Amino acid sequence: MPETPECGTQLSQVADIAARFGCDGDIDELIKAIFEAIRNDGLVLIRNLPRDPATLLTLARKLGRLQPATSRAASATPGDLAYWIGNLDAHETERWWGELLPLHTAGANEPTEPKLHMMLMLDAGSGLPDADGNSGQSLFSRVDDAIEELGRVYPERAEEFLDALLHTAVTADYIPYLPPRPEPILRRSSAGGWTFRYWIDMQKYARRDGWSADELDALDAFDAALNAVRVQLPLHAGDLVVVDNHRVAHGRMPFPREQIDGSGHRTPSTRRVYNVHLEADI
């Protein structure tokens, strides 16, 4: 994955970050630089932001139009942070807490898929890495890289695979009360590039939807390629990642469920990531 701009400053701060981008403290120049990085690389990392939900929303509103958080509290209203920020109350959903979170794109089965997905690392947790060296490192994988990899590994079948993925619909379960959205995984963007939607357990859903053996081969090959080209990025508290959610999947490695302090006292991991979804024209 190409290098991404970084900022080593506090954000009261947006101006300081702008300076780091060589933008002379002009917020509009900063936003332009972020968009350019996302257009080029699909993602951008900004370091050392205040871990403050209001600041996150301020920056988000400069980048696009906020979409309500999927996991928001039912009682939240647009004046509440919980209406816009995901993972505000919970560390993780029960199922993925401490486990590998497979690669996925945000809103892959929702009526509106955000164009931009922002993740602010609030607290990276202080547990030691597990036996395999995992401590919740973030994972990112670009659809373009996966398709290139597919061509390398399956020079004979890549075209057939891409055709299946462009045309075979799959219904990814996510939110039971939303209408199902059976659609293919791969799409061609208007500019001629690739975009995609991807959800955890996609292979299971395709099987349930009755995909043929050849179509399942295509999906298995794509999933393997997506994972083969994924990049691990250990985020620190205050790191913000903005991804083009139509081009880049995200996930994370497992992490220890408990933190152990100097005297052997165990407490649940404090690891916590906020997320925000945006519509944006980039």
CA 32 from centroid of its chain's CA atoms: 21
Residues 235-264 interacting with ligand AKG (rule: CB under 6 A): 250, 252
Q: What is the spatial distance between Cα 280 and Cα 39, in angstroms, rounded to a whole number? A: 12
- Tell the smallest beta-carbon distance from residue 233 to ligand AKG (Å): 10
Task: Kindly tell me which residue out of 37, 108, 273, 276 binds ligand AKG, with binding defined by CB under 6 A.
Answer: 273
- Tell the smallest beta-carbon distance from residue 257 to ligand AKG (Å): 13
Three-class SS state of 165: helix
Residues with Cβ within 8 Å of residue 43, at least 6 apart in sequence: 1, 4, 37, 140, 241, 242, 243, 244, 248
Of 84-92, 140-148, 185-193, 241-249, the window that binds ligand AKG (rule: CB under 6 A) is: 84-92
Q: What is the spatial distance between Cα 171 and Cα 109, in angstroms, rounded to a whole number? A: 7
- Backbone φ and ψ of 44, nearest 5°: -140, 145
Angle between helices 143-153 and 213-228 (to 10 degrees): 120
138 lines the binding site for ligand AKG (CB under 6 A): yes
Task: Kindly tell me which residue out of 31, 67, 275, 278 binds ligand AKG, with binding defined by CB under 6 A.
Answer: 275
- Tell the smallest beta-carbon distance from residue 138 to ligand AKG (Å): 5
- Tell the smallest beta-carbon distance from residue 161 to ligand AKG (Å): 26
Output the six-digit token pair for 73. 């509290």
Residues 85-124 interacting with ligand AKG (rule: CB under 6 A): 86-87, 92, 101, 106, 119
Binding mask 34-73 for ligand AKG (x = CB under 6 A): ----------------------------------------
Output the six-digit token pair for 106. 């945000």
**Which residues would be at the binding site for ligand AKG (CB under 6 A)?**
86-87, 92, 101, 106, 119, 138, 250, 252, 273, 275
